[in-house]
Chains A and B, each alone.
Chain A
Amino acid sequence: MLLGRNAASLFWLARYMERAENTARLVEVAYRISLMPRPFEGHRDEWRSTIVSAECTEGFFAKYAVASAETVINYLLFDRDNPASVRSCLDTARRNGRAVRTALTRDVWESLNSTWNELAQIKPAQVKADTLPGFLDWIKQRSMLFRGALLGTALRQESFYFSQLGSFIERADSTARILDVKYHILLPRSEGVGSAIDTQQWITLLRSVSGHRAYRWAYRDSDYEAWNIAEFLILDNRMPRSLSFCYDWVVESLDSLEELHREAPACIELARATRNDLRGKSISDIFATGLHEFLEDFLAANNKLSSEIASSYNFS
């Protein structure tokens, strides 16, 4: 038996831990680009484009006129006005974690709580160009520690499956949004693909979902190809950040809940429909109907599933 409110807290706890890691990864990518030699004439706008990828444009420009390294790093990592900043995510994650303290194992709680405590000691001014990479690594490691503590110590009971749902819905959302923001660079072009600038952008895209090395292993024989990259991040269920992979786990978690409750939740239909859609499609189908349209539909369905889960399981 699990209180509906506790199920909600577990779901959001996992979502926000995942989001903290995704935000850190976006900053990492921008930072790497900023270190590269300027490829062509014209100003570089990696920091601005990071704000766009993080979907923080409105909040950010309400506060700052210019997207510089300093303002973007501060806004995405430390700013409590930004609900997606790493600090806000960890605040929210811990607040949810405290509320369900009794449903967490000691290891999961301690990983969460010590991360929050350590972050509280870090002042934005301490994170400069030379310390930024170490700090971003630290955030990713703490997120992985949390995930490891969860996978390694949590009983496979209701509470576990709600945190799984939170993780994978958030991850699917993040991958789809990043793809959507960059969808134009994946579109087939008449003048042919593979220019230096395209390759660079594709690598960046892969890095922002930690898929750069994985892609090289999965597609050993080919160069960077827009279609392969899109296929890899949408349909390849070997890739743990792909939409398909996420939805296999979403459906599996809901199946496990159904088994425990001996009752199918209303939301399971939508989850299965989305998963089946991903399984039944090829990448050429997706490009035929339009990548952007596909991603928009996916994001809407994913969002809808999140609220259907909330109402199926009495989150409030």
Chain B
Amino acid sequence: MATVFNEMLNADGSVRPPWEKLNEWMTTQSSPELKRKLRQAEAIFRRLGITFAVYGTAEAAERLIPFDVIPRIISAAEWRRLAAGIEQRIRALNAFIDDIYHRQEILRSGRVPTDLVIRNAAYVPQMAGHTPARRVYAHIIGTDIVRVSVDQFYVLEDNCRTPSGVSYMLEDREAMMYLFPDLFARHRVAPIENYCAMLRETLDSVAPPACKGEPTVVVLTPGIYNSAFFEHAFLADEMGVELCEGSDLYVDEGYLWMRTTTKPKRVDVVYRRIDDAYLDPLAFQPDSMLGVPGLFDLYRAGRVTIVNAPGTGIADDKAIYCYMPEIIEFYTGEPPLLSNVPTRRCSQPDELKYVLEHLDELVVKEVHGSGGYGMLVGPTATKKDIEEFAKRLKANPANYIAQPTLALSASPTFSNQGIAPRHVDLRPFALTGDQIRITKGGFTRVAMKKGSLVVNSSQGGGTKDTWVLED
């Protein structure tokens, strides 16, 4: 494995310029003082109810996502590069989805195998031929990015369905401004608090053709037992729109309505945080109690906009991911600005053979998995883990992809051993409506355990504030 890139340091151990002031400050901080600040932050989060329900634990368990008090710094130049790459990618992703559900030119050109798309569980045939407002499908995308050296970034995943984490991005910043106002005075940190206003503008801008006047927007949540419920409520609150469950909405006379204490109110845009399968029992999974019967027909009739559109999962599927370089070139005519991680598809016999022989050095993921469940991190797995995983892999090779274990960059993090480097990734959020809006910041996940590469919050990873510096 290559050496780990510490984002704060040059190869010779000197401090990189964007980090100088923060480094100076860190040398003046004592562990007890930082610990006190950390407790303060945790008390704030707990009081606000920013808790996270962990699947598979007792119902009563509400945990805080571990928070790190040391911010992560991204220079203005680095950000410009990332933002350009993200923008290029999301243009390509929306064009790809539009194409897949219309003329399918990319399939006809042979750049992406037809079967891989049409037979994919994330492909929604009911979307074929439908053109949503502004031809936008993935309005909200969270792009997972990792860094391995001073100038090498990789896109790990394009989350085009219902990416979460933005509330942590915003609340982490609030907490940091409360705890360390002096640090903000010393840095030119790009503000992020306009995210919710931009989200509202984006949602308003994609109101369906049938909507005249000011659109009524709602956030659709599966309810309080969902692990991301806090975020759903947070976003609705910050945007000043209603937070609905499926049972609050119904279809009547060709429109979508919400049940109020008096007369029903018409709804134009649904920012849904439930999966495609549960959206509408008449169109998708018939036993779903979470969705709204008849919603999809209205959507197809242009009476309501669903954000993100059903069927966007086809663009962030891990099997499709390998073709992103081709997809970007096909729709933008440019080479990709951000690289993909080299990925092996286990469905191909020679690739499977290679993967099985190198399990101890690869990361193997389920094609449709998320949240760090069902994955193997070769270098840190035990022999027994590897043997068991090999069995599952051989039983269903098409379900897996494999990637080299990347030496994720590390960022200074407050740990039991004081401030020490820990691995991080980054999820910036991009909004697409009448224009593309990318918030200058992101959700940084950090593996709190020394040496761990798993940053998922469901697996004990934490978060930290992400500072994009202005020139």
Could you list which residues of chain A lie within 8 angstroms of chain B, going by C-beta atoms? Answer: 1-5, 7, 95, 98-99, 101-102, 109-110, 113-114, 117, 120, 158, 162, 257, 261, 263, 313-314, 316
Contact = CB atoms under 8 A, between A and B. Distances in A.
Contact of B265 (A1, A99, A162): A1
Given A102-B236, A109-B49, A4 B261 contact: yes
B366 interface: no
B247 A5 contact: yes
A94 to B, nearest CB: 9
B237 interface: yes
Nearest to A98: B224
A55 B223 CA distance: 32
Given A4-B259, A95-B224, 16 more contacts: A3-B244, A3-B259, A4-B261, A7-B261, A99-B224, A102-B233, A102-B237, A109-B49, A110-B48, A113-B49, A114-B47, A117-B46, A120-B60, A257-B261, A263-B262, A316-B247
A158 B261 contact: yes
Interface string B207-235: 00000000000000001100001000100
Nearest to A158: B261
A312 to B, nearest CB: 8
B236 A3 contact: no
Contact of B261 (A102, A110, A114, A313): A313
Nearest to A7: B261
Instruction: Kindly list the 7 A-B residue pairs having the minimum CB-CB distance in the complex, ordered from nearest.
Output: A102-B237, A313-B261, A101-B233, A4-B259, A7-B261, A261-B262, A98-B224
Contacts of A114: 47
Contacts of A102: 233, 236-237, 242-243
Contacts of A7: 261
27 contacts: A1-B242, A1-B260, A1-B265, A2-B261, A3-B242, A3-B248, A3-B259, A4-B259, A5-B245, A5-B259, A7-B261, A98-B49, A98-B233, A101-B233, A101-B237, A101-B243, A102-B233, A102-B236, A109-B48, A110-B47, A110-B48, A117-B47, A120-B60, A158-B261, A257-B261, A261-B261, A313-B262
Contacts of A263: 262
Contacts of B48: 109-110, 113
Contacts of B243: 101-102
A284 to B, nearest CB: 41
Contacts of B248: 3-5
Contact of B260 (A95, A109, A162, A314): A314
Interface in B246-262: 247-248, 258-262
A102 B260 CA distance: 15
Counting chain B residues whose Cβ lies within 8 A of the other chain, the interface size class is 20 to 34
Contacts of B233: 98, 101-102
A20 B323 CA distance: 59
Majority DSSP secondary structure for residues of B touching A: mixed
B346 to A, nearest CB: 42
A263 B258 CA distance: 19
Contacts of A313: 261-262
B49 A3 contact: no
A155 to B, nearest CB: 13
Contacts of B245: 5
A95 B46 CA distance: 15
Contacts of A117: 46-47
Nearest to A257: B261
B34 to A, nearest CB: 24
**Which residue among A3, A98, A263 has the maximum number of chain B CB atoms within 10 Å of its CB?**
A3
A244 to B, nearest CB: 27
Nearest to A97: B49
Contacts of B261: 2-4, 7, 158, 162, 257, 261, 313-314
A5 B224 CA distance: 13
Contacts of A158: 261
A314 B259 contact: yes
B235 to A, nearest CB: 10
Contacts of B47: 110, 113-114, 117
A188 B440 CA distance: 77
A4 B242 CA distance: 12
A13 B261 CA distance: 17
A180 B38 CA distance: 53
B53 to A, nearest CB: 11
Contacts of B60: 120
A98 B236 contact: no
Contacts of B244: 3
Contacts of A314: 259-261
Nearest to B229: A98
Nearest to A316: B247
B84 to A, nearest CB: 36
A160 to B, nearest CB: 13
A1 B242 CA distance: 9
A117 B43 CA distance: 11
B229 to A, nearest CB: 7
Contacts of B236: 102
A225 B186 CA distance: 72
B224 A3 contact: no
Contacts of A3: 242, 244, 248, 258-261
Nearest to B241: A102
A95 B247 CA distance: 17
A277 B145 CA distance: 69
Contacts of B265: 1
B224 A4 contact: no
Nearest to B247: A5
A95 B49 CA distance: 12
B344 to A, nearest CB: 44
B415 to A, nearest CB: 26
A285 to B, nearest CB: 36
Interface string B50-77: 0000000000100000000000000000
A201 B60 CA distance: 41
A20 to B, nearest CB: 18
